[in-house]
């Protein structure tokens, strides 16, 4: 089954390479994988790999930076899709700590908690303290800003941020931009960045050289994955327009609890899996709610994803295989 799945995905990717970007193609090009991704920036080219995979040092040879993205830990969720989300987050941390090449820091792309409760944040903080990488950079998911407009989230995770919690930082020549697209959502709409944040972002990147590798991370996809389920951000085009001059742009998100990737010109979009539960492929269920799998299969629907993006070649390579 795994081989078949890989074959299917490989085929889809070949089609993508042949035909360019095709919406149906990239929607189909996905798999349930892993509990985290390791990103390595090597000469401005971000490369993602699964953490269960043997770490191939040749890929990172000469690379300066390695980090891990985790997402959607949903601490406090206890329904049948995963009655123990603390255990699977712990498993993710164990994976990270077992990496041959330790990441310098972690990115958490939101939905840290399920209901924004202090004890849920506490629980995640406690588990993440077990990671060898001490720095964790967060952006909020909609589950982290319930009822108090994100006040408690910002006090805990985004003290030195702007506005609703956006910020940027530099690591070894790579410029990281953490965006908030889960606040002030309007009826019938998608994720929203808002004018103030967009203005900030435009100024933030203005002074950077076009050779600077850019990593943007946010919770809701910054590309139109499936608007019918709210899987997109209505003003993301505006944000991306500020990044046109850069040769290497990588956009990371969570929210949809599944791997998806799209390459558009100089921009690679990548959506990470959850550490808590999978969600259905776009349109493949009545709603985007948690997808229930038999308990013994929960970790076997997790897997690994190696992604290589070569700047300027418009080609991507993804190898997916299951973990368990």
Decide if residue 116 touches other proteins (CB under 8 A): yes
**Stretches 36-44, 111-119, 237-245, 293-301: which one binds other proteins (CB under 8 A)?**
111-119
Cβ proximity to other proteins: between 81 and 193 the closer is: 81
Cβ proximity to other proteins: between 63 and 232 the closer is: 232
Decide if residue 190 touches other proteins (CB under 8 A): yes
Cβ proximity to other proteins: between 160 and 287 the closer is: 287
Considering CB under 8 A, how many residues would be counted as binding other proteins?
24
Q: Where do we find the tokens 């004890």? A: 119
DSSP 204-257: HHHTS-TTS-EEEE-SS-SS-SBGGGTBSBTTHHHHHHTTTT-S-EEEEE-SSS
Query: Please, are residues 180 and 140 in contact by the beta-carbon 8 Å criterion?
Result: yes
Decide if residue 189 touches other proteins (CB under 8 A): yes
Q: Quote the least distance from Cβ 108 to other proteins, whole Å.
A: 19
DSSP 27-51: HHSEE---S-EEEEEETTEEEEEES
Question: Alpha-carbon distance 88 to 277, whole Å?
Answer: 9
Checking DSSP bridges between strand 174-178 and strand 249-253, what pairing results, if any? unpaired
**Stretches 227-235, 242-250, 298-306, 308-316: which one binds other proteins (CB under 8 A)?**
227-235
Q: Quote the least distance from Cβ 79 to other proteins, whole Å.
A: 4
Cβ proximity to other proteins: between 59 and 115 the closer is: 115
Cβ proximity to other proteins: between 94 and 148 the closer is: 148
Cβ proximity to other proteins: between 1 and 187 the closer is: 187
The pattern of x and - marking residues 265 through 304 that bind other proteins according to CB under 8 A reads ---------------------xxxxx--------------
Q: Quote the least distance from Cβ 243 to other proteins, whole Å.
A: 26
Q: Where do we find the tokens 């103030």? A: 196
Q: Quote the least distance from Cβ 185 to other proteins, whole Å.
A: 4
Angle, alpha carbons 129-126-174 (nearest 5°): 40
Interface with other proteins in residues 169-188 (CB under 8 A): 185-188
By CB under 8 A, name the one of 87, 101, 115, 208 that touches other proteins.
115
Query: Please, are residues 56 and 69 in contact by the beta-carbon 8 Å criterion?
Result: no
Cβ proximity to other proteins: between 91 and 185 the closer is: 185
Cβ proximity to other proteins: between 100 and 285 the closer is: 285
Q: Quote the least distance from Cβ 34 to other proteins, whole Å.
A: 22
| Residue 229 tokens, joined | 């389920």
Q: Quote the least distance from Cβ 301 to other proteins, whole Å.
A: 17
Q: Contacts for 50-59 with beta carbons within 8 Å, 24 or more apart?
A: 50/303, 50/304, 50/305, 50/306, 50/321, 50/323, 51/95, 51/96, 51/98, 51/99, 51/304, 52/95, 52/303, 52/304, 52/323, 53/304, 53/306, 54/100, 55/99, 55/100, 55/101, 57/100, 57/101, 59/308
Residues that bind other proteins in the complex, under the rule CB under 8 A: 77, 79, 81, 114-116, 142-143, 146-147, 185-190, 228-230, 286-290
């Amino acid at each position: 089954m795994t081989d078949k799945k890989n074959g299917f995905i490989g085929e889809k990717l070949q089609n993508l390479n042949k035909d360019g970007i095709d919406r149906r193609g990239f929607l189909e090009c996905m798999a349930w994988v892993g509990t985290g991704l390791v990103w390595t920036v090597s000469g401005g080219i971000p490369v993602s790999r699964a953490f269960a995979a043997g770490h191939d040092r040749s890929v990172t040879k000469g690379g300066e930076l390695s980090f891990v993205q985790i997402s959607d830990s949903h601490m406090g969720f206890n329904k049948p899709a995963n009655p123990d989300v603390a255990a699977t987050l712990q498993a993710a941390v164990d994976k990270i700590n077992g990496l041959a090449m330790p990441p310098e820091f972690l990115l958490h792309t939101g939905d840290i908690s399920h209901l924004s409760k202090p004890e849920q944040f506490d629980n995640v903080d406690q588990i993440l303290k077990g990671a060898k990488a001490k720095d964790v950079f967060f952006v909020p998911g909609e589950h982290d800003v319930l009822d108090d407009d994100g006040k408690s989230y910002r006090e805990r995770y985004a003290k030195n941020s702007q506005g609703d919690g956006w910020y940027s930082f530099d690591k070894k020549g790579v410029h990281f931009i953490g965006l908030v697209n889960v606040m002030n959502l309007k009826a019938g709409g998608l994720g929203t960045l808002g004018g103030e944040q967009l203005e900030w972002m435009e100024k933030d990147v203005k002074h950077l050289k076009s050779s600077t590798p850019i990593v943007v991370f946010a919770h809701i996809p910054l590309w139109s994955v499936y608007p019918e389920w709210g899987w997109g951000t209505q003003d993301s085009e505006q944000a991306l327009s500020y990044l046109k001059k850069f040769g290497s742009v990588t956009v990371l998100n969570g929210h949809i609890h599944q791997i998806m990737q799209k390459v558009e010109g100089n921009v690679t979009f990548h959506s990470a899996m959850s550490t808590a539960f999978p969600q259905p492929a776009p349109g493949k269920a009545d709603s985007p709610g948690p997808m229930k799998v038999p308990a013994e299969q929960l970790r076997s629907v997790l897997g690994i994803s190696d992604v290589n993006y070569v700047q300027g070649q418009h080609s991507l390579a993804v190898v997916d295989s299951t973990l368990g």
